[in-house]
Protein backbone atom coordinates (compact mmCIF):
# COMPACT_ATOMS: atom_id res chain seq x y z
CA UNK A 1 0.00 0.00 0.00
CA UNK A 2 1.39 3.36 -0.99
CA UNK A 3 0.95 6.18 1.47
CA UNK A 4 -0.57 8.74 -0.93
CA UNK A 5 -2.85 8.59 -3.94
CA UNK A 6 -0.86 11.36 -5.65
CA UNK A 7 2.62 12.76 -5.47
CA UNK A 8 2.43 16.26 -6.96
CA UNK A 9 5.75 17.70 -8.02
CA UNK A 10 5.48 21.50 -7.99
CA UNK A 11 3.53 23.74 -5.63
CA UNK A 12 2.77 26.20 -8.43
CA UNK A 13 -0.70 27.06 -9.65
CA UNK A 14 -1.18 23.87 -11.67
CA UNK A 15 -0.10 21.55 -8.86
CA UNK A 16 -2.11 23.48 -6.27
CA UNK A 17 -5.38 23.47 -8.26
CA UNK A 18 -5.05 19.76 -8.94
CA UNK A 19 -4.19 19.03 -5.28
CA UNK A 20 -7.23 21.02 -4.15
CA UNK A 21 -9.57 19.16 -6.47
CA UNK A 22 -8.08 15.79 -5.56
CA UNK A 23 -8.38 16.52 -1.84
CA UNK A 24 -12.02 17.52 -2.36
CA UNK A 25 -12.60 14.06 -3.82
CA UNK A 26 -11.03 12.46 -0.75
CA UNK A 27 -7.69 11.68 -2.38
CA UNK A 28 -4.49 11.97 -0.38
CA UNK A 29 -1.75 14.11 -1.91
CA UNK A 30 1.84 14.90 -1.13
CA UNK A 31 3.05 18.11 -2.79
CA UNK A 32 6.80 18.67 -3.07
CA UNK A 33 8.63 21.70 -4.40
CA UNK A 34 12.32 22.39 -4.74
CA UNK A 35 11.83 26.04 -3.89
CA UNK A 36 11.55 27.31 -0.32
CA UNK A 37 8.00 28.58 -0.89
CA UNK A 38 4.68 27.61 -2.44
CA UNK A 39 3.15 29.39 -5.44
CA UNK A 40 5.73 28.73 -8.16
CA UNK A 41 6.04 31.76 -10.42
CA UNK A 42 2.97 33.52 -9.08
CA UNK A 43 4.57 33.81 -5.63
CA UNK A 44 4.16 37.23 -4.02
CA UNK A 45 5.54 38.45 -0.70
CA UNK A 46 5.02 41.60 1.31
CA UNK A 47 7.78 44.22 1.49
CA UNK A 48 7.09 47.63 3.09
CA UNK A 49 3.38 46.80 3.02
CA UNK A 50 3.55 46.19 -0.75
CA UNK A 51 2.84 42.84 -2.44
CA UNK A 52 5.98 42.14 -4.48
CA UNK A 53 5.63 39.83 -7.49
CA UNK A 54 8.91 37.94 -7.04
CA UNK A 55 8.87 36.32 -10.48
CA UNK A 56 7.65 39.17 -12.63
CA UNK A 57 4.40 41.10 -13.06
CA UNK A 58 1.33 38.88 -12.83
CA UNK A 59 -2.01 40.27 -13.92
CA UNK A 60 -4.96 37.92 -13.83
CA UNK A 61 -7.15 38.17 -16.92
CA UNK A 62 -9.55 35.77 -18.52
CA UNK A 63 -12.53 35.35 -20.81
CA UNK A 64 -13.47 32.13 -19.09
CA UNK A 65 -16.28 32.80 -16.59
CA UNK A 66 -15.86 29.38 -15.01
CA UNK A 67 -12.18 30.07 -14.28
CA UNK A 68 -12.98 33.58 -13.02
CA UNK A 69 -15.62 32.22 -10.62
CA UNK A 70 -13.25 29.49 -9.52
CA UNK A 71 -10.39 31.82 -8.64
CA UNK A 72 -12.73 34.29 -6.93
CA UNK A 73 -13.49 31.62 -4.33
CA UNK A 74 -9.95 32.07 -3.05
CA UNK A 75 -9.44 35.84 -3.28
CA UNK A 76 -11.15 39.14 -3.80
CA UNK A 77 -9.83 40.86 -6.92
CA UNK A 78 -9.30 44.61 -7.29
CA UNK A 79 -10.15 46.63 -10.41
CA UNK A 80 -6.59 46.93 -11.78
CA UNK A 81 -6.44 47.23 -15.56
CA UNK A 82 -3.06 46.73 -17.19
CA UNK A 83 -2.07 49.79 -19.25
CA UNK A 84 1.68 49.63 -19.78
CA UNK A 85 3.77 52.54 -20.96
CA UNK A 86 6.52 52.00 -23.54
CA UNK A 87 9.69 54.08 -23.53
CA UNK A 88 11.68 54.18 -26.75
CA UNK A 89 14.79 56.37 -26.45
CA UNK A 90 13.31 59.66 -25.18
CA UNK A 91 9.82 58.98 -26.53
CA UNK A 92 6.90 57.68 -24.50
CA UNK A 93 3.96 55.67 -25.86
CA UNK A 94 0.82 53.99 -24.62
CA UNK A 95 0.40 50.26 -25.10
CA UNK A 96 -1.14 48.17 -26.52
CA UNK A 97 -1.16 49.68 -30.00
CA UNK A 98 -4.19 51.96 -30.00
CA UNK A 99 -5.32 55.46 -30.96
CA UNK A 100 -3.24 57.01 -28.15
CA UNK A 101 -0.13 55.30 -29.55
CA UNK A 102 -0.93 56.40 -33.11
CA UNK A 103 -1.51 59.98 -32.00
CA UNK A 104 1.83 59.94 -30.16
CA UNK A 105 3.58 58.47 -33.23
CA UNK A 106 2.07 60.51 -36.04
CA UNK A 107 -0.20 63.18 -34.55
CA UNK A 108 -3.26 61.52 -36.13
CA UNK A 109 -6.58 61.95 -34.30
CA UNK A 110 -9.19 59.81 -36.03
CA UNK A 111 -9.31 56.05 -36.64
CA UNK A 112 -9.54 56.73 -40.39
CA UNK A 113 -6.29 58.72 -40.32
CA UNK A 114 -4.53 56.03 -38.29
CA UNK A 115 -5.79 53.24 -40.52
CA UNK A 116 -4.67 55.12 -43.63
CA UNK A 117 -1.19 55.60 -42.16
CA UNK A 118 -0.83 51.93 -41.21
CA UNK A 119 -2.32 50.73 -44.50
CA UNK A 120 0.17 52.86 -46.44
CA UNK A 121 3.07 51.30 -44.50
CA UNK A 122 1.72 47.76 -44.80
CA UNK A 123 1.16 48.03 -48.55
CA UNK A 124 4.80 49.01 -49.07
CA UNK A 125 5.88 45.72 -47.43
CA UNK A 126 4.13 43.36 -49.88
CA UNK A 127 3.77 40.66 -47.22
CA UNK A 128 0.89 38.35 -48.06
CA UNK A 129 1.72 35.28 -45.98
CA UNK A 130 3.74 36.24 -42.89
CA UNK A 131 6.25 33.49 -42.16
CA UNK A 132 7.73 34.75 -38.91
CA UNK A 133 7.27 37.34 -36.15
CA UNK A 134 8.96 40.13 -38.11
CA UNK A 135 6.74 39.67 -41.15
CA UNK A 136 3.66 39.18 -38.99
CA UNK A 137 4.32 42.40 -37.06
CA UNK A 138 5.07 44.41 -40.21
CA UNK A 139 1.94 43.05 -41.87
CA UNK A 140 -0.18 43.98 -38.86
CA UNK A 141 1.12 47.38 -37.79
CA UNK A 142 3.67 48.61 -40.34
CA UNK A 143 7.24 49.85 -40.08
CA UNK A 144 7.06 52.61 -37.43
CA UNK A 145 5.33 50.59 -34.72
CA UNK A 146 7.55 47.63 -35.52
CA UNK A 147 10.80 49.57 -35.29
CA UNK A 148 9.97 51.58 -32.18
CA UNK A 149 7.81 49.28 -30.12
CA UNK A 150 8.39 45.69 -31.21
CA UNK A 151 11.79 44.95 -32.67
CA UNK A 152 14.12 45.91 -29.79
CA UNK A 153 11.83 44.56 -27.07
CA UNK A 154 11.30 41.25 -28.83
CA UNK A 155 15.01 40.75 -29.56
CA UNK A 156 15.79 41.39 -25.90
CA UNK A 157 12.95 39.22 -24.65
CA UNK A 158 13.71 36.19 -26.80
CA UNK A 159 17.42 36.67 -27.56
CA UNK A 160 16.65 35.95 -31.18
CA UNK A 161 16.05 37.96 -34.32
CA UNK A 162 12.36 38.63 -34.99
CA UNK A 163 12.60 36.74 -38.25
CA UNK A 164 13.66 33.62 -36.32
CA UNK A 165 10.61 33.68 -34.05
CA UNK A 166 7.13 32.23 -34.61
CA UNK A 167 4.51 34.78 -35.55
CA UNK A 168 1.92 33.71 -32.95
CA UNK A 169 3.88 35.47 -30.16
CA UNK A 170 2.97 38.89 -31.49
CA UNK A 171 -0.66 38.00 -32.13
CA UNK A 172 -1.15 38.11 -28.37
CA UNK A 173 -0.92 41.92 -28.48
CA UNK A 174 -4.14 43.76 -29.35
CA UNK A 175 -4.29 46.37 -32.11
CA UNK A 176 -7.25 48.68 -31.86
CA UNK A 177 -8.52 51.91 -33.32
CA UNK A 178 -10.05 53.26 -30.11
CA UNK A 179 -8.49 55.32 -27.32
CA UNK A 180 -8.31 52.27 -25.06
CA UNK A 181 -5.08 51.45 -23.20
CA UNK A 182 -6.32 48.19 -21.71
CA UNK A 183 -3.61 45.65 -22.60
CA UNK A 184 -6.01 42.71 -22.49
CA UNK A 185 -9.18 41.94 -24.38
CA UNK A 186 -10.66 39.74 -21.66
CA UNK A 187 -13.79 40.81 -19.79
CA UNK A 188 -12.40 39.74 -16.38
CA UNK A 189 -9.21 41.26 -14.99
CA UNK A 190 -7.64 42.23 -11.67
CA UNK A 191 -5.06 41.60 -8.99
CA UNK A 192 -5.93 39.50 -5.94
CA UNK A 193 -6.06 41.63 -2.81
CA UNK A 194 -3.40 40.38 -0.41
CA UNK A 195 -1.33 38.74 -3.17
CA UNK A 196 -1.25 35.50 -5.15
CA UNK A 197 0.49 33.42 -2.48
CA UNK A 198 -2.69 33.52 -0.40
CA UNK A 199 -4.64 31.91 -3.24
CA UNK A 200 -2.17 29.04 -3.41
CA UNK A 201 -2.11 28.77 0.39
CA UNK A 202 -5.90 28.38 0.40
CA UNK A 203 -5.80 25.86 -2.45
CA UNK A 204 -3.31 23.79 -0.49
CA UNK A 205 -5.15 23.94 2.84
CA UNK A 206 -5.21 20.46 4.38
CA UNK A 207 -2.71 19.10 1.83
CA UNK A 208 0.71 17.85 2.92
CA UNK A 209 3.43 20.09 1.42
CA UNK A 210 7.17 19.55 1.62
CA UNK A 211 9.43 22.37 0.39
CA UNK A 212 13.14 22.50 -0.48
CA UNK A 213 12.85 19.05 -2.04
CA UNK A 214 13.91 18.32 -5.59
CA UNK A 215 12.02 15.33 -6.95
CA UNK A 216 14.80 14.46 -9.37
CA UNK A 217 17.26 14.11 -6.51
CA UNK A 218 14.88 11.92 -4.45
CA UNK A 219 13.10 10.17 -7.26
CA UNK A 220 12.96 6.66 -5.90
CA UNK A 221 12.00 7.46 -2.32
CA UNK A 222 9.31 9.94 -3.39
CA UNK A 223 7.86 7.79 -6.17
CA UNK A 224 7.53 4.92 -3.73
CA UNK A 225 5.12 6.96 -1.63
CA UNK A 226 2.30 7.46 -4.13
CA UNK A 227 0.23 5.51 -6.66
CA UNK A 228 0.39 8.25 -9.24
CA UNK A 229 2.62 11.25 -9.96
CA UNK A 230 1.70 14.65 -11.35
CA UNK A 231 4.91 16.30 -12.54
CA UNK A 232 4.84 20.05 -13.25
CA UNK A 233 8.58 20.55 -13.73
CA UNK A 234 10.56 20.34 -16.98
CA UNK A 235 9.50 17.28 -18.94
CA UNK A 236 12.95 16.93 -20.56
CA UNK A 237 14.62 16.96 -17.13
CA UNK A 238 12.21 14.24 -15.93
CA UNK A 239 13.51 12.02 -18.74
CA UNK A 240 17.10 13.01 -18.09
CA UNK A 241 17.22 14.91 -21.41
CA UNK A 242 17.27 11.57 -23.25
CA UNK A 243 16.17 13.09 -26.58
CA UNK A 244 18.10 16.34 -26.05
CA UNK A 245 17.44 19.63 -24.23
CA UNK A 246 14.36 21.72 -24.86
CA UNK A 247 15.09 25.43 -24.95
CA UNK A 248 13.72 27.95 -22.45
CA UNK A 249 14.08 31.64 -21.79
CA UNK A 250 15.18 32.62 -18.35
CA UNK A 251 14.88 35.94 -16.53
CA UNK A 252 16.88 37.86 -13.97
CA UNK A 253 15.06 40.14 -11.58
CA UNK A 254 16.75 43.09 -9.93
CA UNK A 255 14.54 44.36 -7.12
CA UNK A 256 15.09 47.57 -5.14
CA UNK A 257 13.23 49.34 -2.36
CA UNK A 258 13.32 53.09 -2.95
CA UNK A 259 12.80 55.77 -0.37
CA UNK A 260 10.21 57.62 -2.41
CA UNK A 261 6.48 57.35 -2.84
CA UNK A 262 6.18 57.04 -6.57
CA UNK A 263 9.00 56.11 -8.97
CA UNK A 264 7.46 55.77 -12.42
CA UNK A 265 3.74 56.44 -11.97
CA UNK A 266 2.67 53.15 -13.54
CA UNK A 267 2.83 49.45 -12.66
CA UNK A 268 4.55 48.39 -15.89
CA UNK A 269 6.93 50.39 -18.08
CA UNK A 270 8.42 48.57 -21.10
CA UNK A 271 11.77 49.68 -22.50
CA UNK A 272 11.44 48.90 -26.18
CA UNK A 273 14.85 50.21 -27.21
CA UNK A 274 17.44 47.41 -27.70
CA UNK A 275 20.20 49.46 -26.06
CA UNK A 276 18.50 49.47 -22.63
CA UNK A 277 19.50 46.09 -21.18
CA UNK A 278 16.26 45.33 -19.33
CA UNK A 279 12.88 44.76 -20.94
CA UNK A 280 10.64 46.31 -18.32
CA UNK A 281 10.44 47.94 -14.92
CA UNK A 282 7.63 47.03 -12.56
CA UNK A 283 6.55 49.26 -9.70
CA UNK A 284 4.66 46.80 -7.54
CA UNK A 285 2.53 49.16 -5.42
CA UNK A 286 0.61 50.37 -8.48
CA UNK A 287 -0.95 46.93 -8.92
CA UNK A 288 -2.84 47.64 -5.71
CA UNK A 289 -3.12 51.45 -5.86
CA UNK A 290 -0.69 51.59 -2.91
CA UNK A 291 0.03 54.79 -1.03
CA UNK A 292 2.89 53.55 1.16
CA UNK A 293 5.73 56.03 1.81
CA UNK A 294 8.27 53.74 0.06
CA UNK A 295 8.16 51.89 -3.21
CA UNK A 296 9.59 48.63 -4.60
CA UNK A 297 10.67 48.32 -8.22
CA UNK A 298 11.95 45.38 -10.27
CA UNK A 299 13.98 45.53 -13.45
CA UNK A 300 13.50 42.45 -15.62
CA UNK A 301 16.38 41.15 -17.73
CA UNK A 302 15.91 38.32 -20.19
CA UNK A 303 18.51 35.57 -20.68
CA UNK A 304 18.94 32.19 -22.35
CA UNK A 305 18.25 29.32 -19.98
CA UNK A 306 21.22 27.30 -18.71
CA UNK A 307 21.21 24.44 -16.20
CA UNK A 308 20.75 25.88 -12.72
CA UNK A 309 18.71 28.87 -13.93
CA UNK A 310 14.89 29.06 -13.74
CA UNK A 311 13.17 28.11 -17.00
CA UNK A 312 10.44 30.74 -17.34
CA UNK A 313 9.33 30.63 -20.96
CA UNK A 314 9.21 27.57 -23.22
CA UNK A 315 10.40 28.57 -26.69
CA UNK A 316 7.66 27.14 -28.86
CA UNK A 317 9.37 27.26 -32.23
CA UNK A 318 9.22 24.35 -34.66
CA UNK A 319 12.46 22.71 -33.54
CA UNK A 320 11.48 22.66 -29.87
CA UNK A 321 7.90 21.64 -30.54
CA UNK A 322 9.16 18.64 -32.53
CA UNK A 323 11.47 17.65 -29.72
CA UNK A 324 8.68 18.09 -27.19
CA UNK A 325 6.47 15.77 -29.28
CA UNK A 326 9.00 12.97 -28.65
CA UNK A 327 8.86 13.53 -24.89
CA UNK A 328 5.09 13.77 -25.03
CA UNK A 329 4.85 10.45 -26.86
CA UNK A 330 7.00 8.81 -24.21
CA UNK A 331 4.91 10.44 -21.47
CA UNK A 332 1.70 9.04 -22.92
CA UNK A 333 3.14 5.54 -22.63
CA UNK A 334 3.94 6.08 -18.95
CA UNK A 335 1.22 4.42 -16.89
CA UNK A 336 1.37 6.35 -13.62
CA UNK A 337 2.83 9.72 -14.42
CA UNK A 338 0.94 12.77 -15.69
CA UNK A 339 2.63 15.95 -16.88
CA UNK A 340 1.03 19.33 -16.30
CA UNK A 341 1.67 23.08 -16.21
CA UNK A 342 3.86 25.36 -18.26
CA UNK A 343 6.96 23.20 -18.00
CA UNK A 344 5.37 19.75 -18.01
CA UNK A 345 3.30 20.60 -21.09
CA UNK A 346 6.03 22.85 -22.57
CA UNK A 347 3.48 25.47 -23.51
CA UNK A 348 3.17 29.20 -22.90
CA UNK A 349 0.14 29.42 -20.61
CA UNK A 350 -1.29 32.30 -18.67
CA UNK A 351 -2.72 31.66 -15.21
CA UNK A 352 -6.30 31.29 -16.44
CA UNK A 353 -5.25 28.64 -18.94
CA UNK A 354 -3.28 26.82 -16.25
CA UNK A 355 -6.37 26.73 -14.02
CA UNK A 356 -8.52 25.55 -16.92
CA UNK A 357 -6.06 22.77 -17.80
CA UNK A 358 -5.68 21.67 -14.18
CA UNK A 359 -9.46 21.55 -13.75
CA UNK A 360 -9.81 19.55 -16.97
CA UNK A 361 -7.18 17.12 -15.78
CA UNK A 362 -8.89 16.82 -12.40
CA UNK A 363 -12.16 16.07 -14.10
CA UNK A 364 -10.85 13.27 -16.31
CA UNK A 365 -8.32 11.91 -13.87
CA UNK A 366 -10.48 11.92 -10.75
CA UNK A 367 -13.71 10.70 -12.32
CA UNK A 368 -11.80 7.91 -14.06
CA UNK A 369 -10.23 6.98 -10.75
CA UNK A 370 -13.57 6.86 -8.95
CA UNK A 371 -15.11 4.70 -11.73
CA UNK A 372 -12.33 2.20 -11.19
CA UNK A 373 -12.89 1.87 -7.46
P1 LIG B 1 5.23 27.10 -12.08
O2 LIG B 1 4.68 28.30 -11.45
O3 LIG B 1 6.54 27.20 -12.79
O4 LIG B 1 5.34 25.97 -10.97
C5 LIG B 1 6.11 24.82 -11.12
C6 LIG B 1 6.71 24.49 -9.76
O7 LIG B 1 7.38 23.23 -9.86
C8 LIG B 1 7.75 25.50 -9.30
O9 LIG B 1 7.45 25.98 -8.02
C10 LIG B 1 9.05 24.70 -9.32
O11 LIG B 1 9.95 25.09 -8.29
C12 LIG B 1 8.56 23.29 -9.12
N13 LIG B 1 9.47 22.27 -9.64
C14 LIG B 1 9.96 22.18 -10.90
N15 LIG B 1 10.77 21.11 -11.00
C16 LIG B 1 10.78 20.52 -9.78
C17 LIG B 1 11.45 19.39 -9.26
N18 LIG B 1 12.29 18.65 -10.00
N19 LIG B 1 11.25 19.06 -7.97
C20 LIG B 1 10.43 19.81 -7.17
N21 LIG B 1 9.79 20.90 -7.62
C22 LIG B 1 9.96 21.25 -8.92
N23 LIG B 1 0.19 34.70 -16.41
C24 LIG B 1 -0.90 35.51 -16.41
O25 LIG B 1 -2.03 35.04 -16.43
N26 LIG B 1 -0.76 36.88 -16.34
C27 LIG B 1 0.47 37.47 -16.28
O28 LIG B 1 0.56 38.71 -16.22
C29 LIG B 1 1.62 36.64 -16.30
N30 LIG B 1 2.84 37.18 -16.27
C31 LIG B 1 3.94 36.37 -16.26
C32 LIG B 1 5.19 36.96 -16.18
C33 LIG B 1 6.32 36.17 -16.14
C34 LIG B 1 7.66 36.82 -16.06
C35 LIG B 1 6.20 34.75 -16.21
C36 LIG B 1 7.41 33.89 -16.19
C37 LIG B 1 4.95 34.16 -16.29
C38 LIG B 1 3.80 34.96 -16.31
N39 LIG B 1 2.52 34.41 -16.34
C40 LIG B 1 1.43 35.22 -16.36
C41 LIG B 1 2.30 32.93 -16.39
C42 LIG B 1 2.19 32.30 -15.02
O43 LIG B 1 3.34 32.51 -14.28
C44 LIG B 1 1.94 30.80 -15.22
O45 LIG B 1 0.77 30.58 -15.95
C46 LIG B 1 1.87 29.96 -13.94
O47 LIG B 1 2.69 30.41 -12.92
C48 LIG B 1 2.23 28.53 -14.29
O49 LIG B 1 2.02 27.69 -13.18
P50 LIG B 1 2.65 26.24 -13.17
O51 LIG B 1 2.20 25.60 -11.91
O52 LIG B 1 2.40 25.58 -14.45
O53 LIG B 1 4.24 26.48 -13.15
N1 LIG C 1 6.06 42.86 -27.28
C2 LIG C 1 6.68 43.90 -27.94
N3 LIG C 1 6.72 45.12 -27.34
C4 LIG C 1 6.19 45.35 -26.12
C5 LIG C 1 5.55 44.29 -25.46
C6 LIG C 1 5.51 43.04 -26.07
O7 LIG C 1 7.19 43.72 -29.02
O8 LIG C 1 6.29 46.48 -25.63
C9 LIG C 1 6.05 41.53 -27.94
C10 LIG C 1 7.17 40.61 -27.46
O11 LIG C 1 7.63 39.85 -28.55
C12 LIG C 1 6.47 39.74 -26.45
C13 LIG C 1 5.09 39.59 -27.08
O14 LIG C 1 4.83 40.87 -27.68
O15 LIG C 1 7.12 38.50 -26.30
C16 LIG C 1 3.99 39.24 -26.12
O17 LIG C 1 3.93 40.23 -25.12
P18 LIG C 1 3.40 39.94 -23.69
O19 LIG C 1 3.28 41.23 -22.97
O20 LIG C 1 2.21 39.06 -23.79
O21 LIG C 1 4.63 39.13 -23.09
P22 LIG C 1 4.79 38.42 -21.67
O23 LIG C 1 3.96 39.16 -20.66
O24 LIG C 1 4.33 37.04 -21.89
O25 LIG C 1 6.23 38.54 -21.40
Digit-coded pLDDT (tens) for 43-53: 999 999 999 99
Conformational region of residue 104, where left means phi above 0, alpha means psi within -120 to 50, and beta covers everything else: alpha
Q: Which residues contact 363 (CB under 8 A, 6 or more apart)?
A: none
Domain-located, residue 287:
no
What pLDDT shows up at residue 128?
86
Coil/strand/helix, residue 87? strand
Residues 41, 149: one domain? no
Tell me which of 17, 58, 357 to substitute to probe ligand 1's pocket, judged by most ligand atoms within 8 Å of the beta carbon. Answer: 58
Residue 245 is given by DSSP the state P
Residues 74, 89: one domain? no
Nearest to 233 by CA among 252, 253, 261, 213: 213
Domain-located, residue 255:
no
Asked if residue 310 has its Cβ within 6 Å of ligand 1, the reply is: no
Q: Give just the sign of the alpha carbon dihedral 118, 124, 128, 133.
A: negative
* Distance from C-alpha of 122 to C-alpha of 116, rounded to nearest angstrom: 10
Active-site option among 160, 176, 299, 347: 176
pLDDT band at 369 (very low <50, low <70, confident <90, very high): low
% of the chain with per-residue pLDDT over 70: 98
The boundaries of the domain holding residue 353 are 4-78+188-244+315-372
Last residue of a domain, one of 169, 199, 233: 169
Q: Which residues contact 4 (CB under 8 A, 6 or more apart)?
A: 28, 29, 30, 208, 225, 226, 227
Q: What is the pLDDT of residues 302-321, one digit of tens each?
A: 999 998 899 999 998 889 99
Residue 27: CATH number of its domain: 3.40.50.720
Domain-located, residue 201:
yes
Q: Which atom of ligand 1 is nearest to the CA of 58?
A: 28
Domain-located, residue 278:
no
pLDDT band at 57 (very low <50, low <70, confident <90, very high): very high
More confident residue, 113 or 1: 113
Cα separations (Å) of 355 from 319, 352, 358? 27, 5, 5
* Distance from C-alpha of 370 to C-alpha of 140, rounded to nearest angstrom: 50
Last residue of a domain, one of 169, 199, 229: 169
- Overall domain count for the chain: 2
Residues 17, 161: one domain? no
The rounded mean pLDDT for the chain is 95
Question: Which residues surround ligand 2 with Cβ inside 6 Å?
Answer: 86, 95, 149-150, 153-154, 157, 169-170, 172-173, 270, 272
Q: What is the pLDDT of residues 310-368, one digit of tens each?
A: 999 999 888 999 999 999 999 999 999 999 999 999 999 999 999 999 999 999 999 85
What pLDDT shows up at residue 368?
58
Residues 119, 206: one domain? no
Residues 150, 213: one domain? no
Residues 89, 43: one domain? no
The helix or strand, by DSSP H or E, that contains position 199, with its residue range, turns out to be helix 196-203
Residues 224, 324: one domain? yes
Residues 220, 321: one domain? yes
Last residue of a domain, one of 169, 196, 218: 169
Q: What is the pLDDT of residues 251-304, one digit of tens each?
A: 999 999 999 999 999 999 999 999 999 999 999 999 999 999 999 999 999 999
Residues 212, 323: one domain? yes
Residues 68, 164: one domain? no
Q: How far is the CA of 170 from the centre of ligand 2 (A)?
A: 7
Cα separations (Å) of 244 from 165, 175, 241, 310, 349? 21, 38, 5, 18, 23
% of the chain with per-residue pLDDT over 90: 91
Amino acid sequence: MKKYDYLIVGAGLFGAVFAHEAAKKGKTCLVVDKRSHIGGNIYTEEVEGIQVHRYGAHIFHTSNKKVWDYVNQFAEFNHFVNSPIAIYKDELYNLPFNMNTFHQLWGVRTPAEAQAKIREQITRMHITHPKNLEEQALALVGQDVYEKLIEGYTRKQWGRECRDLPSFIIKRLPLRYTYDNNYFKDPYQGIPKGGYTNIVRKLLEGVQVVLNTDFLENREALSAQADRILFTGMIDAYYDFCYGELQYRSLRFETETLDMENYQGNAVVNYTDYEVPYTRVIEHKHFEFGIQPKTVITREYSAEWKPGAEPYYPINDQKNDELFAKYEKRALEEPNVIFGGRLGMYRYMDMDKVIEEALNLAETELSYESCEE
